Amino acid sequence: MKKPSKKSRKPSLKRRHPEDKLELCEAKFKVLFDNVTSGVAVYEARDNGQDFIFTDFNRAAEEIEQIKKEELIGRSVLDVFPGVKDFGLFDVFQRVWRTGTPEHHPVSTYKDQRIAGWRENYIYKLPSGEIIAVYDDVTKNKRTELAQRMSEHCFRAIANYTYFWEVWISPGGRPLWTNPAVHRVTGYTIKELIAMPDYPMPIVYEEDRDRMGRAFRSALKGSSGNDVQFRLRRREGKVIWVEMSWQPIYDEHHVSLGHRQSIHDVSARKQAEEALRRAERDKETILDSLAEQVVYRDREMRILWANRPTCESVGMTREELVRQPCYQVLAGREEPCADCPVAKAMETGRAHEAEKWMPDGRALFIQGSAVRDEKGNIIGGVEIRLDITERKRALEALRRSEEKYRGLAEGSD
């Protein structure tokens, strides 16, 4: 095949007329200008850089600024965006126009009466003398960033200053994070706790390690736990009581992130509970050693507590007496006693006494007193019962003896 002559060949792009090249470049620029996702604004300087007039504005910029191109072409940037000087961008325009050196205006907040948001700008000077601003609206990203930062600040503020000792444990069982309360509770620093091998066993009291080891393994499997008490050995060796709760942590896809432990020192409470138990034992020891029968009952006349002499008098244990109506087990009646000193004491707020013969032939001296709560409300009553049968019989025998001797004396006269 015969090659085409040089004259018949089409001119290459390199050989095109300069005007054609310029036209092609302008067409490409126009496509890029109209379709780029960043906002693009072109300005012409006026009054030796004292003002800048809009000469072009792309579609992305229209969407960002919520204004049409037709509304601002030929207008001053100071008129359309009155906050541009406070924003700091106007000074950049002037410097770039004078020097021709491009500048980056970092993310800043623009605000006027019409619009507000975060913008990031890159300013260039064109060969025509115009300046061009290529910028992005980063408001959404900035808000997300601020929200995350605020969330982080809130987390730190809450976690670092909460009174409880908080620990985040990884799915593998290693401490990932702990708050400063670790030092107050354990004596260890944050760094020492995070680096502690085989956590938490080194700080758990020896006798509680098996039990807490099972609880820890259960937590690693995703369980929750509340108010589990165990003993902890502090760094200096002192043993204290603590109470721990834990719960699993998951991400948005329900993938395990480990679990959170919340621990606080309950030594003071344990000491108070032990003191209360000792006081309770001492009270029972004292009251059980009395000859009198002592019964504590509520306002419905149900027995709440009774000492040993009371239990022995009816042949029942203390546990069997509790919640039983006193008039049934102590008086053998189906209805409350009409002249009960305890009932009168709870009604009047004053102590009442009485002597009563029981169905089994015993004589009792009974004293009833009201029991009040910390607000002064009557919540029950205490009955003290003393068996005076022998004394009553002795008095009766003495009375009969006196009558006998009186009769003999009168007969001798």
82, pLDDT greater than 50: yes
pLDDT at 411: 62
DSSP state of 204: B
pLDDT tens digits, one per residue of 171-192: 989 999 999 999 999 999 999 9
In the chain, the domains with their CATH numbers are 29-138 (3.30.450.20), 162-270 (3.30.450.20), 290-393 (3.30.450.20)
24, pLDDT greater than 60: no
- What percent of the chain clears pLDDT 70, i.e. is strictly above it? 86
Sheet holding 378-387, edge to edge: 303-306, 293-298, 378-387, 363-372, 352-357
Q: Which residues pair with 203 in a beta bridge?
A: none
Burial zone of 307 (CB within 10 Å; 0-12 exposed, 13-18 middle, 19+ buried):
buried
d(CA 142, CA 345): 73
19, pLDDT greater than 70: no
pLDDT at 208: 95
CA distances from 89 to 83, 96, 110, 136, 275 (A): 9, 11, 9, 14, 73
Give the confidence band of 261 by pLDDT, cuts at 50, 70, 90. Answer: very high
pLDDT at 13: 45
The DSSP code sequence of 50-79 is TEEEEEEE-HHHHHHHT--HHHHTTSBHHH
Q: What are phi and psi of 258, to 5 degrees?
A: 110, -150
pLDDT tens digits, one per residue of 143-161: 777 666 666 666 666 667 6
pLDDT (mean) for 376-381: 92
141, pLDDT greater than 60: yes
The DSSP code sequence of 301-355 is -BEEEE-HHHHHHHT--HHHHTTSBHHHHTT--SS--TT-HHHHHHHHSS-EEEE
249, pLDDT greater than 60: yes
Nearest CA among 48, 119, 107 for reference residue 81: 119
Pick the residue with more confidence: 281 or 224? 224
CB count within 10 Å of CB 232 equals 23
pLDDT tens digits, one per residue of 290-302: 888 889 999 999 9
3-state secondary structure at position 211: helix
3-state secondary structure at position 157: helix
Chain CA centroid to CA 254, Å: 21
Place of tokens 């050995």: 233
Q: Which residues contact 124 (CB under 8 A, 6 or more apart)?
A: 96, 102, 131, 132, 134
pLDDT at 65: 93
Q: Using CA atoms in the order 212, 218, 219, 224, what is the torsion angle rounded to 10 degrees?
A: -100
112, pLDDT greater than 60: yes
386, pLDDT greater than 50: yes
pLDDT at 356: 80
The DSSP code sequence of 265-296 is E-HHHHHHHHHHHHHHHHHHHHHHTSSSEEEE
Average predicted confidence (pLDDT) for the chain: 85
Give the confidence band of 1 by pLDDT, cuts at 50, 70, 90. Answer: very low
Give the confidence band of 5 by pLDDT, cuts at 50, 70, 90. Answer: low
pLDDT (mean) for 118-138: 93
d(CA 394, CA 73): 125
Pick the residue with more confidence: 363 or 52? 52
40, pLDDT greater than 60: yes
pLDDT (mean) for 345-352: 90
pLDDT at 132: 95
pLDDT (mean) for 327-349: 87
pLDDT (mean) for 259-282: 86
15, pLDDT greater than 60: no
d(CA 296, CA 326): 10
Place of tokens 């013969």: 357
Chain CA centroid to CA 179, Å: 14
